[in-house]
Amino acid sequence: MVKIAPSILSADFANLEREIGRISDADYVHVDVMDGVFVPNITIGIPVVRCIRPVTKLPLDVHLMIVRPVRYVEAFCDAGADIVTVHVESDTPDEIRAALDKIHARGGRAGIVLSPGTPAQAAEPFLEHVDMILAMTVEPGFGGQSFMADMMPKVAALRAMIDARNPGCELEVDGGVDPVTCRACIQAGANVLVAGSAVYTAPDTPARIRELRG
């Protein structure tokens, strides 16, 4: 079954425990970490991951939109992240490999993220070393943007690469996913869907999570 990872970027940060409680029917809690340098926005970091760890049984899926993530991945694992994903654009290939290795050494699941302008082939050198590949369907930086349907061939290409070389790897999409656009993502081969505004603006959160499963 398709997994749903609501992004708490769209939650009420003054009431995070309650907001995470609303998504207990989901599969992962998606945590968007932005540094104001890799992306033009600043969000939350290690102390918030540490504080939310005890309030949910769901795995924490931490999406790092920061420069040189190798500096911080161990701290995120120690704070309670279960999955840590790093952008391939955020450092050299060697340093990205080093970041993935550090996450694994801490017992975490490691992933890479591809921004919209980055081709599927950029995942090639990392394919055997990741547990998740995240394909962005908006430019990283902000919630509530429009879904980029033109990313679907790239998602399909990543699905083919994963099936051929690392079938246990998850394929996640992030940005503009709603009860309509989720279908194209699933059709293209994604098995984890991130959704921020579509989940947190819904009057009935469990019903919305069910809808997003396609």
Residue 170, interface with Zn ion (CB under 5 A)?
Answer: no
Nearer to Zn ion, 11 or 160 (CB): 11
Task: Rule CB under 6 A: choose which of 45, 69, 111, 176 binds ligand DX5.
Answer: 176
State how far the Cα of 105 lies from the Cα of 74, in Å rounded to an integer: 9
Is 150 annotated as catalytic?
no
Task: Rule CB under 5 A: choose which of 3, 22, 63, 159 binds Zn ion.
Answer: 63
Residue 84, interface with ligand DX5 (CB under 6 A)?
Answer: no
Task: Rule CB under 6 A: choose which of 125, 127, 197, 213 binds ligand DX5.
Answer: 197
Nearer to ligand DX5, 101 or 179 (CB): 179
Given ligand DX5, Zn ion, none, residue 9, with its beta carbon under 5 to 8 Å by kind, binds: ligand DX5
How many beta carbons lie within 10 A of that of residue 132, not counting itself? Answer: 21
B/e letters for 78-97, b = 16+ CB within 10 Å, e = fewer, are: ebbbbbbbbbbbbbeeeebb
Task: Report yes or no: 83 and 61 within 8 Å, Cβ to Cβ.
Answer: yes
Task: Rule CB under 5 A: choose which of 61, 170, 172, 174 binds Zn ion.
Answer: 174
Residue 177, interface with ligand DX5 (CB under 6 A)?
Answer: yes
Listed residue (54, 56, 55, 76) closest to 64, CA to CA:
76
State how far the Cα of 42 lies from the Cα of 33, in Å rounded to an integer: 8
Catalytic residue among 35, 131, 174, 178: 174
Task: Report yes or no: 196 and 202 within 8 Å, Cβ to Cβ.
Answer: no
Is 174 annotated as catalytic?
yes
State how far the Cα of 152 lies from the Cα of 159, in Å rounded to an integer: 10
Residue 178, interface with Zn ion (CB under 5 A)?
Answer: no
Q: Catalytic residue numbers?
A: 32, 174
| Residues lying near Zn ion in the complex (CB under 5 A) | 32, 63, 174
